[in-house]
Structure 1
Amino acid sequence: MQMDYTAEREKIVNKLAQKVKGEKFDHSLGVEQTALALARRYGADREKAGLAGLLHDYTKQMDNVAMAEKYGIPYLTEKTLHGHTAAALLKEKGYVTDEEVLGAIRWHTTGRAGMSLLEKIVFIADYVEPNRDFPGVELARELAFADIDKAVLLVLKTTIGHVVKNKGLIDTDSVEAYNDYRRLFPGEEI
């Protein structure tokens, strides 16, 4: 049976604290609060946003390669795998059964073409939550509350640029998401 976010938040936080330690735990709380604020701003379901934001990194500090093999999840890079494994594990344990929440958890690192509003909210919240501090985060925070689609494009552009600069592999879902959102704003400097 899926956890009831409002009624069981304390229990969910305690369960998360057993899996996610240190700065990553603080990050999860920050993503939860940011997702709630973005849900309020854009009229999304706050219960789902809070739950997805809180649990998005549930498997971040686990062996994601072994879990990918267990669940048959294909991947290009281990770095973005934890969203997919978290969704699979949370569903298997019955902690989260809502497919919209699972999708927001699954796609929070790479994005995807055609994201739902909840998926966009968690994707953006993961990037702009208050514990994040890097060049450009303030602009992304402002844009997140002004135009979520432009914020998605900015985050994808910045993230892909960072991966290229560091000679990493770009997840194909991120490339498809970038192209999808770039089509919304052809020629605009974002």
Structure 2
Amino acid sequence: MNIDFFKKELSDVLSKKRYEHSIRVLETSLSLGKIYNADLNKIALASLLHDYAKEFTREKLLKISKEHFKDETKDYLTNVEILHSYVASYIAKEKFKIDDDEILNAIKFHTTGRKNMSLIEKIVYIADAIEPKRDYPHVEKIRDLALVDLNKAILLEVNKKIEYLIKGDYIIHVNSIEMRNWLLKIS
């Protein structure tokens, strides 16, 4: 894998702020990957590409989502925060010819999570939530937990995310709820 190639591709489509976030997610993911003995190449690709579509226009996100993820996104078409992850996985597959399901799923579910996540998916999911510039209540505790127990870190993160979404009267993606319940069963 040529990490410089993907960094260049990212810098061409993302703002400086979003690009720097992606690099911090990469660094956080790689640190966690070393702790949990995960495939660092897979982590690097998924981390770098996770927000590739984050700054696409709403129209472009809707078009690709409706064409390629119709059933999966039909209830969430008003939420670009969810759609960008699906579209980024599509771009990874179509533009960059990535065919590894673990990488594609880590990109696709980095926002919502899902039950039965692989180690790579868990690492990218939590790295996105705890990269060094993230600043929200309980993030330090989640960061500390991530160093010793990924499942507990993700469970705390998703609990806090769900609380936030409920307080704001936002839709909660079913994948997040299923992930939470799955983590409770296996932890």
Same fold (TM over 0.5): yes
1:29 aligns with 2:23: yes
1:71 aligns with 2:68: yes
In structure 2, the residue corresponding to 1:146 is in which secondary structure? coil
The match for 2:91 is 89
Counterpart CA distance in 2 for 1:20 and 1:96 is 20
In structure 1, the residue corresponding to 2:147 is in which secondary structure? helix
Greater CA deviation, 108-117 or 62-71?
62-71
The match for 1:188 is none
Counterpart CA distance in 2 for 1:121 and 1:102 is 13
Structure 1 residues without counterparts, runs of 5 or longer? 186-190
Percent identity of the aligned residues? 37
Structure 1 position 94, deviation (Å): 3.2
Counterpart CA distance in 1 for 2:61 and 2:52 is 11
Counterpart CA distance in 1 for 2:98 and 2:13 is 16
Instruction: Name the CA shift for 1:30/1:95 in 2 (closer, same or farther; >3 Å).
Output: farther
1:109-134 Cα distance to aligned partner (Å, 9 max, x none): 00001110000000000000012112
Counterpart CA distance in 2 for 1:154 and 1:65 is 31
What is the TM-score with the length of structure 1 in the denominator? 0.90
The match for 1:40 is 34
The match for 2:157 is 155
Residue 135 (structure 1) aligned to one of 109, 134, 137 = 137
The match for 2:180 is 178
Counterpart CA distance in 1 for 2:91 and 2:5 is 18
Counterpart CA distance in 2 for 1:29 and 1:72 is 27
Structure 1 position 14, deviation (Å): 0.7
Structure 1 position 108, deviation (Å): 0.4
What is the TM-score with the length of structure 2 in the denominator? 0.91
Counterpart CA distance in 2 for 1:34 and 1:83 is 19
Greater CA deviation, 127-136 or 35-44?
127-136
Structure 2 residues without counterparts, runs of 5 or longer? none
Letter in 2 for 1:106: K
Greater CA deviation, 176-185 or 9-18?
176-185
Structure 1 position 83, deviation (Å): 1.2
Counterpart CA distance in 1 for 2:117 and 2:31 is 19
Counterpart CA distance in 2 for 1:184 and 1:89 is 32
Counterpart CA distance in 2 for 1:164 and 1:142 is 25
Checking the alignment, whether the CA contact within 8 Å between 2:109 and 2:125 is kept in structure 1 is yes
RMSD: 1.2
Letter in 1 for 2:82: T
Counterpart CA distance in 1 for 2:171 and 2:3 is 36
1:61-93 Cα distance to aligned partner (Å, 9 max, x none): 113112101213332332211111111121012
Counterpart CA distance in 2 for 1:14 and 1:93 is 14
- How many positions carry a matched residue from both structures? 179
